[in-house]
Amino acid sequence: MIAAAPAKTGLSVIVPVLNEAESLPELERQIRETCVRLSRTYEIIFIDDGSTDGTFEVLKGLCAANPLIRVVRFRKNFGQTAALAAGFDRARGEIILTLDADLQNDPSDFPSLLAKLDEGYDIVSGWRQKRKDRFITRRLPSILANWLISRITGVKLHDYGCTLKAFRRDVIKNIRLYGELHRFIPALASKMGVAVSEVKVNHRPRRHGKSKYTISRTVRVVLDLLTVKFLLSYSTRPLQIFGLFGIVSLLAGTVISAWLAYERLILRVAIGGRPLLLLAVLLIVIGIQFITLGLLAEIMVRAYHEAAHQPTYFVREVLGDEPQDPPGDARA
């Protein structure tokens, strides 16, 4: 509810929550106090991502006490990316802030994020320079992932994994999120030509509850990176990448077959037992396959771009008032 001041300055704070009951009251207090200190209108949207530890009851209490809080409760655990997407769909503020619910991110960094946005950036990402997590299982994979992501996406940030970020509304409203893609929002948005920057932020050790991720997340992040690279570079012209492989392979196969044909027909050498023959056939078949795959991908890409949005999450209930214009989710 951003009623008092002009909606332009409004902040929407989005918090994905999975089993963080103990941290929530303190987190709500810190966010509220920071927003009040900033003298901006604000709303806080908590997304309960299928918690089982009484998180929803705590959120219910917070929502009853503060009319600026809204709570979206998922039917089951759909993951942090879907939770953030649900928040983005409902956010009414002109500026959208995201942060973790476990008190590791510090709301007192909001002012520096907002100041950076005011310099003319569309997305400002937090950089946890002194990250308070285990080295081997969290920080080391993250160093490698950050290096790889910045090389491949061309968006230079130090810390893609930090949830504490600030976005201008129009940027975020145009991005659809799937899988584990939330850490790639700056990269995906770069396609729209937005200005991305970062500021150093505080990071605190986790006090309550457990981390929801294990090292296996790194594998998923790397796979998502492939998707992002494809979406960024070839999503509108897949034939250009598949077709290129296809043509190279087809050409190589044809050249080898021509050579073999010359040997057989002119030089009268037997070619039946030659491994080169197998290679030539393989290259030709693969080449044709790649080209057809590229054509199929072209058709799918067109269908994808024109199809109606498919929901990535299902909401059980919403506390607090919903926007008039219903967001793009499905109710089941």
Contacts with Mg ion by CB under 5 A lie at 100, 102, 104
104 binds ligand UDP (CB under 6 A): yes
Identity of residue 94: E
How many residues bind ligand UDP (CB under 6 A)? The answer is 16
When binding is defined by CB under 6 A, the residue of 2, 11, 13, 17 that contacts ligand UDP is 17
18 binds ligand UDP (CB under 6 A): yes
Q: Pick the closest to residue 169 from 98, 91, 115, 113 (CA basis).
A: 91
Q: Which is nearer to ligand UDP, 80 or 190 (CB)?
A: 80
Q: Pick the closest to residue 51 from 22, 76, 30, 14 (CA basis).
A: 76
Gap between the Cα atoms of 327 and 250, Å rounded: 48
When binding is defined by CB under 6 A, the residue of 10, 11, 20, 34 that contacts ligand UDP is 20
The structure tokens listed for 51 are 């918690």
First to last CA, the chain: 26
Q: Which is nearer to ligand UDP, 200 or 212 (CB)?
A: 212
When binding is defined by CB under 6 A, the residue of 43, 94, 102, 109 that contacts ligand UDP is 102
* DSSP type of residue 56: H
Rounded to 5°, angle at Cα 47 from 41 and 52: 140
Closest residue to Mg ion in the complex (CB): 104
| Shortest separation between residue 237's beta carbon and ligand UDP, angstroms | 34
Residue 157 near residue 196 (C-beta atoms within 8 A):
yes
| Shortest separation between residue 55's beta carbon and ligand UDP, angstroms | 8
When binding is defined by CB under 6 A, the residue of 52, 211, 236, 310 that contacts ligand UDP is 211
Gap between the Cα atoms of 248 and 136, Å rounded: 42
Q: Which is nearer to ligand UDP, 142 or 190 (CB)?
A: 142
107 binds ligand UDP (CB under 6 A): no
- Candidates 65-73, 74-82, 224-232, 298-306: pick the segment binding ligand UDP (CB under 6 A): 74-82
Q: Which residue has the tokens 């951003």?
A: 2
Q: Considering Cα of 98, then 103, then 105, then 111, what sign does the dihedral take?
A: positive
Residue 293 host element (H or E): helix 275-306
Residues that bind ligand UDP (CB under 6 A): 16-18, 20, 49, 77, 79-80, 83, 100-102, 104, 211-213
